[in-house]
Amino acid sequence: MGNIIKRWMPMVVALSTMGTLTASAQTYQIDPVHTSLIFRVKHMNTAYVYGRFNQVTGTIVLNEANPARSSVNIEVDANSVYTANEQRDNHLRSPDFFNTRQFPTIRFVSTQVSRVNANTVRVRGNLTMRGVTRPITADVVLTGKGKSPQGREIIGFETTFTIRRSEFGIRYGLPGLGDEVRVTLSVEAGRQ
Amino acid sequence: MNFLAQQILWGAVLPALIALAVLVVFNWRLGRGAGVSLHWGTPVALTAGYLFAHWRIVGLPLSFPPLDSNEWLFVMGVVVTLWAIVEHFTARWERARAAARLVLAGAVAWLVLKPLIGSVWQGSAWYFWWGGLTLGWWLWWSLQAGLADRLPGPVVPLVLSMVAGGGGLILLWSNSSSLSQLGGAVAAVVGALVPLMLWRRDVLVGASAIAPAVGLLGLVWINAIAFVPVPAWRIAVLAIASLTPLLALLPAFKRRSLWLSVAVSAVVTAIVLGALMLPTYRAYVASAQTYGY
């Protein structure tokens, strides 16, 4: 009996430790209603025009004790683009820009998460848009934690980063319509 | 230079000048005699102008095979030129050429449309669209090839240029500027054949010379139907409008001057295009008064 305990005890301890680590990683589901994905691009080298995507979904695995074990998966319905002008929205869905019939989803999958300071993490990952995948890096700020009216644990993040649309094959209208697109993502996610 | 002027320069003026310059080089010393058609280098001229426009309007493809439906048009430019040269040297084997054209149209349509399997067109719907667009493209291409092999003078490239340009405007008013401009580029390069055919009214354009225009314009239209999407019936009317040179084969016109058949074909085409463009333009203006790109 003593031998069995000696032989199995390290494994029991290891499993308990893994259990603790797993418990500290929490999965959150992005709430599309309280999440905003906005972008801005310069029109005719003059003024910034803003737009948004109305359908953003995905999951965030958050490990506060060890941020490197955290991950982010985000999917954006490219057809949900909205700029307050129906004609322009249809144009943005066309092959001139997002080509949504061929590429209905914009996707981000994190590859690395590292802590910058108490409220900020640096997320590296691959952004796939219009069939082209490019690595991007964004500093993501924790904007708050709380509870939803239904009592669910919720968490908020915000990040702003800039991409070049030409790198994703969206080259129509250059240089009149700007190449640099500044993206701001504000996420509210509920714990699963 | 403002944005619009720059786009017209890159997408129409320079492509037409490039095509015309190369056309003159190849056709300068073209022989005379019954049944002579334009030089085998003619498709190279048309495609050179088109590829320049494609490069300036939407850029070069990012990868091969292309990821994007628009990028296939660049590849098609190269493929159709090689095909057109083969057509020139196999002019006697009309049936074999027609069969090979069907295989080419089907293969290209399959490559371009396959990303829509299961997403836009489910199950048998995809086969319906692929088969229908392939057959439509092939039939239209074969009819154009037949006209180009039989009619001397500028009527075939003139009408094709009008239809490509009119179709370009319809695409512009249907939310696809890049396809509109690429259609416009086809109009410009095939339009460059018109002065050449005015100079050499004794020769035939030939199926080979017309192949880049028909191949590229057909794929622009397929992309418009599948990816914008533009209603297929509008494209069908455009294709039918481009067949007005058939009038020149009627006995009533055969006995009269070349100019009469050119004028009648151009006028009938213009009327059909106008009838198609006017409601499209009105619908565009009604829904987009505040959006000027």
Total of domains in chain A: 1
Residue A18 has pLDDT above 80, yes or no: no
Establish if A101 belongs to a structural domain: yes
The whole-angstrom distance between A169's CA and the closest CA on chain B is 7
Residue A36 has pLDDT above 60, yes or no: yes
In this prediction, the residues of chain B whose per-residue pLDDT falls under 70 are: 33-34, 288-293
Establish if A67 belongs to a structural domain: yes
Query: Quick check: B140 and B207 in contact, CB under 8 A?
Result: no
Establish if A134 belongs to a structural domain: yes
Which residues does chain B have within 8 Å of residue A169's beta carbon, measured at their own beta carbons? 59, 62, 67-68, 71
pLDDT digits (tens, 9 = 90+) for B135-194: 999 999 999 999 999 888 899 999 999 999 999 999 998 888 899 999 999 999 999 999
Which domain does A65 fall in, by range?
A: 25-191
pLDDT attached to residue A20: 42
pLDDT attached to residue B289: 59
* Helical pair B207-227 and B232-241, crossing angle rounded to 10 deg: 160
Whichever domain contains A60, its CATH number is 2.40.128.110
Report how far residue B56's alpha carbon sits from residue B51's, in angstroms, rounded to the nearest whole number. Answer: 9
Residue B83: name the closest of B219, B273, B254, B231 by CA: B219
pLDDT attached to residue B256: 76
Is the overall model pTM greater than 0.90, yes or no?
Answer: no
Establish if A2 belongs to a structural domain: no
Residue A5 has pLDDT above 70, yes or no: no
Query: Quick check: A61 and A70 in contact, CB under 8 A?
Result: yes
Mean pLDDT for chain A?
Answer: 89
Chain A residue at shortest CA distance from B71: A169
Establish if A13 belongs to a structural domain: no
Structure tokens at B155: 């009527």
Asked if the C-beta of A144 comes within 8 angstroms of chain B's C-beta atoms, the answer is no
B3, B120, B287 member nearest A87 (Cβ): B287
Any idea what DSSP says for residue B37?
B
A 10 A CB-CB count for A68 gives 11
Establish if A17 belongs to a structural domain: no
Establish if A70 belongs to a structural domain: yes
Residues paired with A115 in a beta bridge: A121
Residue B101: name the closest of B150, B146, B138 by CA: B138
Residue A15 has pLDDT above 50, yes or no: no
Report how far residue B167's alpha carbon sits from residue A143's, in angstroms, rounded to the nearest whole number. Answer: 51
Burial class (CB in 10 A: 0-12, 13-18, 19+), B267: exposed
The whole-number average pLDDT for the span A27-38 is 96
| Chain A residues 58-117 with a CB less than 8 Å from chain B | 85-88, 90-91, 93-96, 99, 101-102, 104
A 10 A CB-CB count for B110 gives 12
Handedness of CA B157, B162, B163, B165 (dihedral sign): positive
Residue A63 corresponds to which amino acid?
Answer: N
Query: Quick check: B179 and B223 in contact, CB under 8 A?
Result: yes
Establish if A42 belongs to a structural domain: yes
